[in-house]
Chains A and B, each alone.
Chain A
Amino acid sequence: MTVIKFIIQSIRFYWRQHLAVFLGTVISTAVLTGALIIGDSVRMSLNKLVDVRLGKTRFALQAGDRFVRAKLASEIGAKLNTATTPLLMVQGIAINPESESRINKIQVVGIDSSFWKLSDIKIDDLSNDEAIISTNISQKLNIKVGDEFLLRVEKTSVIPLNAPFSQDVDPSVAIRLKVKSIADDSSMGRFSLKSNQAAPYNVFISREILSKKLDLAGKANVILVADNPNKVLAVEDVNNTFKETFQLEDASIKIRELSESNRYEILSERIFIDEPIAKSILNLNIPHETTLTYLVNTISFKGKETPYSFVSAASAPIVDENLKDDEIVVNDWLVKDLGIHVGDSISLKYFVIGSLRTIKEVEKSFIVKGVVPTHSSLINNSLMPLFPGLADAGSCHDWNTGVPIDLDRIRDKDEKYWNEYKGTPKALVSMQTGLNLWGNKFGGYTSIRFDKEKIQLEKLSQDILKSVKPEDIGLTFTPVYIQGLNSANNSVDFGSLFLSLSFFVIAAGILLTVLIYSLNTESRREEIGIFSGLGFERKLIVRIRFGESILVTLLGGIVGSLSGILYNYGLLWGLNSVWQGAVRTNNLKVFIQPTTVLIGAVSGIIVALISIYIVTRRKLKQPIATLIKSGFENPLRITKRYFSLDKIIAIVSIVGAIVLSIYSLLLAGDINAEMFLSAGGLFLVGCIALFSWYLRVVRDRVHTNPLSLIQFALKNAGRNKNRSLTTIALLALGTFSIIITGANRKTFYGVENLRQSGTGGFLFWTETTLPIQYNLNTPNGKVRLGLDNEDILKGVDFIQIHSLSGDDASCLNLNQVQRPRILGVNPQTFDSRHSFSFVGYHKGINTKNTWFELKKNFGDGVVPAIADQTVITWGLKKAVGDTLVYLNESGKKIKLLLIATLDNSVFQGNLLIADSLFIKNFPSSSGSRIMLIDAPSVKQVQLSQLLNTTFTDYGIEITPTTALLAEFNSVENTYLTVFMVLGGLGVIIGTFGLGVVLLRNTLERRSEIALMMAIGYRKSQIFRLIFIENLFLLVTGLICGIASAFLGILPSILSPSFTMPGGFVFMLVVVVFVSGLVWIYFPARNAIKGNIIRGLREE
């Protein structure tokens, strides 16, 4: 007989116990491996999605509100020898005219045939009325190939819509289209430049027709570059090529020749020349003149008024360089109109246009310093910028300026002036004065002029091109593909997440292994004793026992890791269907990496072997004599202690828990949930200690009268107190965790009106597809949007928020986000209302008026920002005090410093900065697409109807703030459901452990049971005895867990809108109970089947 032979014989003989150890190992390994595989699967699925949404695209220029030449794409492509395509991407609304169903916030992609070169498919050019739609649009609007639908497209323009005097135009353009085909995932249906697993709504139409509709012929705002098949391109290569092909037109700059003044004039299609561009041009060291022309409402002198005149600020020689800040030069016409003389003081009234076209009329007085001719070579109509709606107006009555014009004030002579001199300025001020008064976030100059005698046009163009860098105005290519992969690779770690969520199942598997192995060891303890008695070295005994276990656990590990694959399929099925709330996609696929399976198998085997080693070591530490003796000989030592540890712990914990709960209840204001949770935990410890005490008391109490069956059963439970307590503790802890988790769902309905809550006390969160350009709180804004006669709006406050498009950093996005959406908010709005709650602060931040810290100066290029704790921790994987780098509209790097974190709020997924700093850095981000609405809840229905009607064509989506928060919470709640399901499964498997404990007990008590039969106990009585004993453990464990959990969730229960999934929790507890009963029943039945005689011989 060799050791190996002995091991094989033992495995064969004790195959039942080994099978059970094998099953325990299989369970823990399967769950461990499954959790690891799910991490790989989610990561790989997100990686795969990068290919699906980008095709062959590797780099993208996203110009936002700026437009470059569409031809730029082919020029870059030719130089890089790779596929490129220009896109015109805007937001839109798709409408099925038959059903009137609509989808807001769709991505309208203007393409040409080159777009398909970035994929593997070939599609014919789209005609003017054709569109390709993504599958989700087809499904949601119920339209198929050949059907017609209406597309409402955001009216975007080269001139920022919120620039001074920009035209008041319809916010959208409608296009009727026919569905040419439906694009699924394999045909760019998911095309998106944003790292998000949620499928975008895409409509692909001809770029040509789209650009015509938007007056953007030949323009593009996105350029995609594929990889060069022969050379790996770096982003620097692409950006260098971009610089080589960059033209002034790409910076919206044009040069015109002014023959009258003999000048070359630099103009911007955006009206105001961007500051970085102006700076570059002015630094050319070429003599130049700068001008800034503004429309003033009134020029007045002693009661006389000249309405609506252009006034220019200019440098010499147009304006005398010695002209002071309070001095003005007027033209002949104005002198005659107002009867003014040099030295008179005249007054200018003009609009200062603020955020959301808020207008404020400002008055400024000037001393008339001189008079110039109404028309001259330098002072003429060319000084008026090409304001659309003004420059092309036939008469003053045709003006469309975007600011209120009182046409009644326009006199005949004004019309005559317009006919004769157009926008020739009637007055001139110094350049500095003009910059001070009318310089704005879009730029300070409307033109820069150069003397034709001093420079040639070609050289001027070249010099300007050399000095103006695309990145100065935020035009750079980004490696979107690599960024996408990075986002996917650093996505939410589902491996760790599911390891935590599967904790109870893994623990149950390990527990089973340990219990079964202990049972096996217990039943073979004499064997160990005999080995020792026969002179086997302890090492050899360990080797023999381990030899058996290694074979079993190895096999268990292998089968477990393979089962883990199946478990992973199950989990992914859940995530793609019933738990979709956590991942917002049904596109997660199983990816199995052999290394992961191996890691899972090895981890499972190691965990099982460690457990087995610990048990073996413990058993081997017992004296040989004890090992050889049977269980009957083990004496039970009774020691009388009045102040036992369990008694003290029980009293202190339970009293502590009650005191803590009462104190929390009596606390004025909000109920402290953490305190109750602590009280619940304390109560659980107290309960377990109480039962430890009780079992000891029951066991030690001496009855002089015959025991009842129940008393006898309880004494039996106290016989192996630690084993009984372990059973109670495990069941209690499992039940406690399940209920606490179930009730710990994020709910808020009871506190929705509180300003400090995540809703901020606001009623609605609205998002529009098209920006709203007016301030809805002002009479002008209300008039413009047709809300001026609505009584319901009394007491309603619109908090309009600026937004810079970015990635969704909320928990709805699994990818790690690089550039979350930035929101510009007014700190005063939230501070005055004490809205929202902060949970973390950067050092030195004022914790009382934290919102105002958004305006604080943290240094050059540093912008303070606030975000939800969830966003910072999970979405960005950052902490308070960290910074995020963005490029502002001027191409300058700005650091967003995270100064404070908000508790769970409607702002999840966004970074908040002060609106003043937002406008400063991103002036072109037109209007507002996001609004918080502060209104009494009684107006909810009416207000919602009014806004829906008014802003239908803006693609408004009105969400009650509570519903929005609920959507965010649903992610966490889904995870909690997963935890509850897996936790429940763990506890159910744990009840199998209860069966093992019972089996172990009955095994140890075989002779005791036999004796009872011998002295006249009926089998049914013995069965009852065993059943009661274990039912007591089961019920006690469940009651301890349930009672403690309910104390822990008392605040939720007290909340008027307690939303625990009671049915589910109840069902889970019932399943645990029934499963426990089953696992008690069978071992108990088995115990009474034993042979009495054999049992009596077990000595």
Chain B
Amino acid sequence: MIIELSKVGKSYINPGTNIHRDVLADINFQVNSGDSIAIIGPSGSGKSTLLNIIGTLDTPSSGIVKFKGDDVVSFDEKRLAQVRNRNIGFVFQSHHLLPQLSLIENVLVPIIPNGKVNGKAISARAMELLDSVGLADRIHQRPGQLSGGECQRAALVRALINQPELILADEPTGSLDQDSAGQLGDLLLDINKKHNVAIVVVTHSLTLAEKMKSIYRLSHGKLE
């Protein structure tokens, strides 16, 4: 088991009115190796909040989040960063590629915090991954020279570069056209199969959701 959420709840206090608003309540959720899960739900249902808690970007107001059996509450900032860097890959609605870096450099950005690494091996892996998403001939291009779909594919490669066990994707096709969205969905499934990487996708797109093995619906803070 990679991630396990037990009775997780998240509430916010409205700064103006001081009223509590429960976004998530009593969520129990597990992600195992090779899973492909889609979380769907209406806007404001707490999908992204749930994903952020799964990805350790956010902390729950109640309940327990365990990473490989360990409660993440006990993790210090360094350990959390390590988990995010080595075990989890993120893909966001926006690609967040750095404009000053070339495609290959962007893909290699997650390597930097690791310090000493085998540069050649990593570069070869990056090339392999980029080739697998059809970007092998664009590695020297800057994000500004690529299409939205290409950028999002590059972002996916960036998420994979450290060989994570889990990919968390927050509306990855949200800013793509239909074709590109389709391609990206296929790519995610392909990665899931080829690399046995668990994938959790938060999306509005039923087309994408249906490609996943499991679909959860989040409604009024409850996961169904």
Q: Is B206 an interface residue (CB 8 A)?
A: no
Beta-carbon contact of B99 and A709 below 8 Å:
no
* Per-residue interface assignment for chain A, residues 628 to 657, with 1 indicating a CB less than 8 Å from any chain B CB and 0 otherwise: 000010111110000000000000000000
Contacts of B139 in A (CB 8 A): 702, 704
Beta-carbon contact of A705 and B81 below 8 Å:
no
Q: Is A227 an interface residue (CB 8 A)?
A: no
* Per-residue interface assignment for chain A, residues 751 to 775, with 1 indicating a CB less than 8 Å from any chain B CB and 0 otherwise: 0000000000000000000000000
* Per-residue interface assignment for chain B, residues 87 to 124, with 1 indicating a CB less than 8 Å from any chain A CB and 0 otherwise: 00110111010111110110011111100010110110
Beta-carbon contact of A706 and B111 below 8 Å:
yes
- Known A632-B94, A719-B100; judge A1017-B57 contact (CB<8 A): no
Contacts of B112 in A (CB 8 A): 706-709, 712, 1017, 1021
Shortest A1013–chain B CB gap in Å is: 8
- Known A705-B119, A705-B120; judge A1099-B93 contact (CB<8 A): yes
Stretch at the interface among A201-209, A541-549, A1004-1012: A1004-1012
Beta-carbon contact of A1096 and B142 below 8 Å:
no
Taken together as a complex, chains A and B put the C-alpha atoms of A708 and B84 apart, in Å, by 20
Q: Is A855 an interface residue (CB 8 A)?
A: no
Contacts of A715 in B (CB 8 A): 100-101, 105
Nearest residue (CB) in A for B124 is A704
Beta-carbon contact of A1016 and B96 below 8 Å:
no
* Per-residue interface assignment for chain B, residues 41 to 57, with 1 indicating a CB less than 8 Å from any chain A CB and 0 otherwise: 00000001000100101
Q: Is B140 an interface residue (CB 8 A)?
A: yes
Q: Is B86 an interface residue (CB 8 A)?
A: yes
Shortest B82–chain A CB gap in Å is: 7
Q: Which of B120-179 contact A (CB under 8 A)?
A: 120, 122-123, 126-127, 139-140, 142-145, 158-159, 162
Taken together as a complex, chains A and B put the C-alpha atoms of A49 and B157 apart, in Å, by 81
Beta-carbon contact of B96 and A716 below 8 Å:
no
- Known A699-B100, A715-B100; judge A705-B122 contact (CB<8 A): yes
Taken together as a complex, chains A and B put the C-alpha atoms of A1093 and B10 apart, in Å, by 14
- Known A1016-B84, A1019-B77; judge A702-B145 contact (CB<8 A): no
Taken together as a complex, chains A and B put the C-alpha atoms of A1007 and B145 apart, in Å, by 20
Beta-carbon contact of B57 and A1093 below 8 Å:
yes
Contacts of A708 in B (CB 8 A): 112
Q: Is B20 an interface residue (CB 8 A)?
A: no
Q: Which of B57, B98, B102, B119 contacts A1014 (CB 8 A)?
A: B57
Taken together as a complex, chains A and B put the C-alpha atoms of A1007 and B143 apart, in Å, by 15
Contacts of A618 in B (CB 8 A): none
Q: Which of B48, B81, B123, B126 contacts A1016 (CB 8 A)?
A: B81
Nearest residue (CB) in B for A705 is B119
Q: Is A360 an interface residue (CB 8 A)?
A: no
Shortest B21–chain A CB gap in Å is: 16
Q: Is B203 an interface residue (CB 8 A)?
A: no
Beta-carbon contact of B99 and A636 below 8 Å:
yes
Q: Is B194 an interface residue (CB 8 A)?
A: no
Contacts of B105 in A (CB 8 A): 702-703, 707, 715
Taken together as a complex, chains A and B put the C-alpha atoms of A1092 and B127 apart, in Å, by 29
Q: Is A557 an interface residue (CB 8 A)?
A: no
Contacts of A1099 in B (CB 8 A): 93-94
Beta-carbon contact of B140 and A702 below 8 Å:
yes
Taken together as a complex, chains A and B put the C-alpha atoms of A719 and B100 apart, in Å, by 5
Q: Which of B85, B98, B108 contacts A705 (CB 8 A)?
A: B108
Nearest residue (CB) in A for B120 is A705
Taken together as a complex, chains A and B put the C-alpha atoms of A1092 and B58 apart, in Å, by 9
Shortest B66–chain A CB gap in Å is: 19
Interface residues on A, range: 35 or more
* Per-residue interface assignment for chain A, residues 989 to 1030, with 1 indicating a CB less than 8 Å from any chain B CB and 0 otherwise: 000000000000000000110011111111101000000000
Taken together as a complex, chains A and B put the C-alpha atoms of A635 and B101 apart, in Å, by 11
Shortest B160–chain A CB gap in Å is: 11
- Known A702-B102, A707-B112, A719-B100; judge A1015-B158 contact (CB<8 A): yes
Beta-carbon contact of A706 and B84 below 8 Å:
no
Shortest B22–chain A CB gap in Å is: 18
Beta-carbon contact of A638 and B108 below 8 Å:
no
Contacts of A1019 in B (CB 8 A): 77
Nearest residue (CB) in A for B95 is A632
Shortest B75–chain A CB gap in Å is: 12
Contacts of B81 in A (CB 8 A): 1013, 1016-1018
- Known A632-B94, A707-B108; judge A1016-B57 contact (CB<8 A): no
Q: Is A984 an interface residue (CB 8 A)?
A: no
Taken together as a complex, chains A and B put the C-alpha atoms of A718 and B94 apart, in Å, by 23
Interface centre among A705, A1012, A1013 (most CB of B within 10 A): A705
Q: Which of B86, B102, B144 contacts A635 (CB 8 A)?
A: B144
Q: Which of A706, A719, A1018 contacts B122 (CB 8 A)?
A: A706
Contacts of B52 in A (CB 8 A): 1093
Contacts of B123 in A (CB 8 A): 704-706
Beta-carbon contact of B101 and A704 below 8 Å:
no
Taken together as a complex, chains A and B put the C-alpha atoms of A703 and B89 apart, in Å, by 22
Beta-carbon contact of B110 and A1015 below 8 Å:
yes
Q: Which of A724-747 contact B (CB under 8 A)?
A: none
- Known A636-B99, A705-B119; judge A1015-B90 contact (CB<8 A): yes
Shortest A717–chain B CB gap in Å is: 9
Interface centre among A703, A708, A1014, A1019 (most CB of B within 10 A): A1014
- Known A1016-B86, A1017-B113, A1093-B57; judge A635-B93 contact (CB<8 A): no
Contacts of A1008 in B (CB 8 A): 96, 98
Contacts of B126 in A (CB 8 A): 704
Beta-carbon contact of B142 and A638 below 8 Å:
yes
Shortest B7–chain A CB gap in Å is: 22
Contacts of B144 in A (CB 8 A): 634-637
Taken together as a complex, chains A and B put the C-alpha atoms of A702 and B103 apart, in Å, by 9
Beta-carbon contact of B158 and A704 below 8 Å:
no
Beta-carbon contact of A635 and B99 below 8 Å:
yes
Beta-carbon contact of A706 and B101 below 8 Å:
no
Shortest A718–chain B CB gap in Å is: 6
* Per-residue interface assignment for chain A, residues 457 to 498, with 1 indicating a CB less than 8 Å from any chain B CB and 0 otherwise: 000000000000000000000000000000000000000000
- Known A1015-B90, A1017-B81; judge A719-B142 contact (CB<8 A): no
Nearest residue (CB) in B for A635 is B144
Contacts of B100 in A (CB 8 A): 636, 699, 715-716, 718-719
Taken together as a complex, chains A and B put the C-alpha atoms of A786 and B28 apart, in Å, by 117
Nearest residue (CB) in A for B117 is A706
- Known A638-B142, A1014-B55, A1099-B94; judge A706-B119 contact (CB<8 A): yes
Taken together as a complex, chains A and B put the C-alpha atoms of A635 and B97 apart, in Å, by 11
Beta-carbon contact of B113 and A1018 below 8 Å:
yes
Beta-carbon contact of B99 and A1016 below 8 Å:
no
Shortest A868–chain B CB gap in Å is: 58
Q: Which of A699, A703, A1015, A1093 contacts B85 (CB 8 A)?
A: A1015
Beta-carbon contact of A634 and B102 below 8 Å:
no
Contacts of A1096 in B (CB 8 A): 57, 92, 96
Shortest A253–chain B CB gap in Å is: 96
Nearest residue (CB) in A for B146 is A635
Beta-carbon contact of A702 and B104 below 8 Å:
yes
Shortest A1063–chain B CB gap in Å is: 41
Contacts of A707 in B (CB 8 A): 101, 105, 108-109, 112
Beta-carbon contact of A632 and B109 below 8 Å:
no
Shortest A724–chain B CB gap in Å is: 11
Taken together as a complex, chains A and B put the C-alpha atoms of A1018 and B115 apart, in Å, by 12
Q: Which of A154-199 contact B (CB under 8 A)?
A: none
9 CB-based A-B contacts, threshold 8 Å = A635-B142, A635-B145, A699-B100, A703-B102, A709-B112, A712-B109, A1016-B86, A1016-B110, A1017-B81
Report the 8 A-B pairs with minimum CB-CB distance, sorted nearest first: A1016-B85, A635-B144, A706-B111, A705-B119, A719-B100, A636-B99, A1016-B84, A1011-B96
User: Could you list 20 further interchain pairs (A-B, Cβ under 8 angstroms) beyond the known A703-B102, A703-B105, A1011-B92?
Assistant: A632-B94, A635-B142, A635-B143, A635-B145, A636-B100, A702-B104, A703-B108, A705-B120, A706-B123, A712-B109, A715-B105, A719-B98, A719-B99, A1015-B159, A1016-B84, A1016-B85, A1017-B85, A1093-B48, A1096-B57, A1096-B92
